[in-house]
A and B are shown apart, each in its own frame.
Chain A
Amino acid sequence: MFGQRLTRIIGPSLLVLSILLTGCTRSVGPMDWLGPVAGDQAEHQRWITWYLLYLGAAVFVFVEGWLLYSIIKFRRPLGPSVLPPQIHGHRTVEILWTVIPTLIVGAIAVPSVPAIFAFAQPPDEAGALRVEVLAHQWWWEFRYPDIVAGKTITVANELRIPVGRTVIATLSSADVIHSFWVPKLSGKVDVIPGRQKNQIWFNAREPGEYYGWCAEFCGTQHAQMRFRVKALAPAEFEAWVRARLSPPPEPQGAARQGYELFGARGCGGCHTVEGTPYQGKVGPNLTNIGERSTVAAGVLANDPDGRGLFRWIKNPQEVKPGAKMPNLGLSDADVGAIVAYLKTLK
């Protein structure tokens, strides 16, 4: 009879748990790292987590089952009670339930220790693509140093990488501590200001656009410090590098007017557009803003008609209160012209 009651409790709870867990095998969204992922490290982390979840579920069912069973079996709701046997302890069971958790801990440590060392050592160091990440309150700067003999590409908030190749990123911060995290590709590594430059490596097994997010609280707009990693086929990536190294097109028509305003309204004081006199270093480099999928550090879609850019430039403080970009009080016409110019930068 006790056995029956026990099954009545444990059976359904195992069922509910397994339904909950199988629910997680499909991808819930672009940040979900428990469903299908795209990087070697993320895959490794995913299966270790699944292993932990199953072990944890077993422990959960065992302990909670024992607890519930005891409550149901030994409760005395009413009436005068008899004194139960006064048991003070039992040496053998104490040893048993010290040894069993120790074994479980061992079973967890065994796969996790090699993984710690594997994650610390990038595979294929010689052939890896090296990038520098410089985190700012509240946006990301990415550099490809010496990508072609002596030439460096600088972009903001969107990192392009070739599929299949290991990427080694060196992380540094211009202000406070941030954390670099692209859940579909790998776990996170903190970005520390000062001399400690952390490294993270990752790769993408298939082409696609992966979400990145600052994962360490870094002040007012921490929540909107996002980025994207775009994995391209190797040939596409090479073409992109060549395009980046050539000067931007000469602005025409409305874009020409926007180009002038970009200087006249002071945008160029903070932002760089390569191949132009605008060489500001305070804000993101805008040389390829026209081809990025987002603006304002992954916050607004950079849609083809320029609505996202318009909304951002018109009033950045409405989109990201506290952001370092001020509201310049530009007229709609001026903003429109600047957007037209920026859209040509690809």
Chain B
Amino acid sequence: MSDAAVAIDVRDLRKRYGEFDAVRGIDISVRRGEVFGLLGPNGAGKTTTVEILEGYRARSGGDVSVLGHDPGRRSHELRQRIGIVLQSGGIYSHITPREALHHWASFYPHPRDVDEVIALAGLHGAADVRSRRLSGGQLRRLDFALALVGDPELIFLDEPTTGFDPEARRSAWETIRKLRELGKTILLTTHYLDEAQELADRVAIVKDGRILAIGAPRELGVGASHYRIAWRDRDGELVERHTDDPTSLLAQLTADALARGETLDELSVARPTLEDVYLELTADG
């Protein structure tokens, strides 16, 4: 891959806090225009990794390149080109979203139009309300809006929907998809499987500071686990079978059922989900 096509390149990244190794040799390469997900349980080292890439933390070892820059040097130019949605970032209590966006826009050489950003983030009704009166969901939209107003090429989203109700999550997902359509590169951390599956082009599953698996969500699913075939038998019991070859198992099951003159009630065939892979990979022991 040429350098111009790579937004983030990480080689053997390590981070040690005292005696604790939070990140133990992570390699990732994020292409431009890609939505890349870091998926893992709490304490896996996701936020540490992202905060090193954002320039908040110094790494203990490894090579890191973000848009061709070493984020550890905290160059002004790099910060003009990235947008950051922190896991929890606050704002002045007495500022309105519109004022905050105008202020933030002044930091950047080519900001987006403030009204456009308000619309993009879904802040229409709340743009002129002081932040202390905004709901949690509205504040999160403001986080998005502030990260977008500088028109960054690369956006970091650290657990963007943690603590959201389902509706707020859907709308945050909608915003992230719009960003992708705008050609933005996105690095997303999450501990929600469905979020990674919905949004990410590729996912790295992280645990204990290491990457356990990396790939497109569907590839990860196919590679690691079995198809699950389930139905309800004559006594109403749910029966479940796992196989790598669903075609022949189904043929056999349906042939047997027909021969007995029975039906396979509620018959379902499920592809392995990211969740199965995730549980398999992150299971202790």
Physical interaction between A and B: no
Q: Which residues from chain B sit less than 8 Å from chain A, CB to CB? A: none
Q: Which residues from chain A sit less than 8 Å from chain B, CB to CB? A: none
